[in-house]
Amino acid sequence: MPDINRVAPDSAGAYQRAQRSRHDASTPAARAGAPGSPETGGRTDSVSLSTGAQGLQQALAAAMAAPDVREDVVASLQEQVESDAYQFPSDEALAEALLRGA
């Protein structure tokens, strides 16, 4: 069974855009039933998001824009390691952290 958690949030939108562009590039007969055309009675579909959904969408956009690596933390640790100031944790402390999921 496919893992739905691995589906990117924007993959459905990308698929829909690709389908729409294929549809738009097709024959005039296929475009005759497009939203807003006389054949559909001028109706168009619309959607509105709740305030919570809009906030979630903004949070997702901010998370996607954030860097994957915190360069300031990496630089600080690199300086400590190079100057022999960094105290490496013991094997036991590392094992405990792994078991805790930290």
**Contact (CB, 8 A) for 69 and 78:** no
pLDDT of residue 92: 94
pTM: 0.31
Task: Please indicate, yes or no, if residue 99 is contained in any of the structural domains.
Answer: yes
Distance CA 4, CA 51 (A): 25
What are the pLDDT digits (tens) for 73-87?
A: 999 999 999 999 998
Q: In the predicted model, what is the mean pLDDT of residues 89-100?
A: 93
Task: Please indicate, yes or no, if residue 79 is contained in any of the structural domains.
Answer: yes
pLDDT of residue 95: 94
Q: At residue 22, does pLDDT exceed 90?
A: no
- Rounded CA Rg of the chain: 25
Joined tokens for residue 3: 């893992």
Nearest C-alpha neighbor of 9 from the set 66, 59, 67? 59
Tokens 């459905």 — which residue?
12
Task: Please indicate, yes or no, if residue 81 is contained in any of the structural domains.
Answer: yes
Task: Please indicate, yes or no, if residue 27 is contained in any of the structural domains.
Answer: no
What are the pLDDT digits (tens) for 25-69?
A: 665 555 555 555 556 677 899 999 899 999 999 999 999 998 888
pLDDT of residue 3: 62
Distance CA 35, CA 12 (A): 20
Task: List the domain range (segments joined by +) for residue 97.
Answer: 72-102
- How many domains is the chain partitioned into structurally? 1
**Contact (CB, 8 A) for 40 and 33:** yes
